[in-house]
């Protein structure tokens, strides 16, 4: 048998946050959504989405200046599509969990949402979502710290519009199991 190593599930490490808007008279997916990605500076990436957990080793960095065209960019993303004259708002909230006894960072929780609503309304929803996750699984052992909210909102003047915010991962830890 050839030599091999056994690795565990990779753990996202470095991430950056970004946001953008886009408008198009042609389409959403190959129009306003792509232009929102362009405005956010991640249009050259193949976007894959995660659920909403940050590992304790996650570390926020500045958005890289150079990204390889066509690379896979894994992210937690909120994206809202709307039509001309209707508000599009997308938002993400995240916070870090710390152990109540040791004060050690445990990891993070992320909530994303969207809607044809004002920023203030979406922020209220995001805060409620985070609180619900926290109280239904983490509040007995951990406390929340460093809550961060990112919102993007606009009213498109073209036929279609997209607002998006994203947490984008660009490095990973690969645990060696054997």
User: pLDDT tens-digit profile of 70-82?
Assistant: 999 999 999 999 9
Q: How many helices (H) and strands (E) are present in the chain, helices listed first?
A: 2, 11
pLDDT score recorded for residue 3: 87
The residues near 18 (Cβ < 8 Å, ≥ 6 apart) are 40, 41, 42, 63, 165, 166, 168
Is 89 among the domain residues? yes
B/e letters for 27-42, b = 16+ CB within 10 Å, e = fewer, are: ebeebbbbbbbebbbb
Is it the case that residue 110 has pLDDT exceeding 80? Answer: yes
Is 177 among the domain residues? no
d(CA 35, CA 80): 13
Is 1 among the domain residues? no
- CATH code: domain of residue 51: 3.50.20.10
- pLDDT tens figures, 112-149: 999 999 999 999 999 999 999 999 999 999 999 999 99
d(CA 74, CA 15): 10
Is it the case that residue 1 has pLDDT exceeding 80? Answer: no
What total number of domains does the chain contain? 1
Is 2 among the domain residues? no
Q: Which of these, 111, 93, 90, lies nearest to 162 by C-alpha position?
A: 90
Is it the case that residue 85 has pLDDT exceeding 90? Answer: yes
Token pair 């309304």: residue: 121
Is 138 among the domain residues? yes
**Which range marks the domain in which residue 154 is found?**
11-172
What values do phi and psi take at 99, rounded to 5? -65, 130
pLDDT score recorded for residue 51: 87
Is 140 among the domain residues? yes
Least confidently predicted of 87-91, 95-99, 173-177? 173-177
- pLDDT tens figures, 7-63: 999 999 999 999 999 999 999 999 999 999 999 999 999 999 988 899 999 999 999
Is 5 among the domain residues? no
pLDDT score recorded for residue 52: 86
Is 71 among the domain residues? yes
pLDDT score recorded for residue 2: 85
């Amino acid at each position: 048998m050839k030599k091999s190593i056994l690795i565990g599930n990779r753990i996202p490490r470095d991430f950056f946050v970004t946001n953008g808007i886009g408008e198009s008279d042609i389409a959403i997916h190959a129009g306003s959504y792509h232009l929102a990605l362009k405005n956010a500076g991640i249009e050259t990436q193949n976007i894959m989405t995660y659920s909403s957990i940050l590992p304790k080793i996650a570390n926020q960095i500045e958005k890289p200046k150079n990204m390889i065209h066509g690379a896979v960019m894994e992210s937690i993303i909120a994206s809202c599509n709307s039509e001309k004259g209707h508000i599009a708002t997308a938002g993400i909230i995240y916070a870090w969990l710390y152990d109540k006894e040791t004060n050690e960072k445990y990891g993070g929780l992320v909530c994303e949402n969207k809607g044809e609503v004002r920023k203030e309304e979406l922020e209220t929803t995001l805060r409620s979502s985070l609180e619900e996750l926290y109280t239904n699984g983490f509040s007995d052992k951990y406390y929340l710290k460093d809550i961060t909210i990112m919102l993007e909102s606009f009213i498109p003047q073209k036929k279609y519009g997209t607002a998006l915010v994203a947490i984008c991962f660009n490095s990973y830890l690969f645990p060696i199991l054997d």
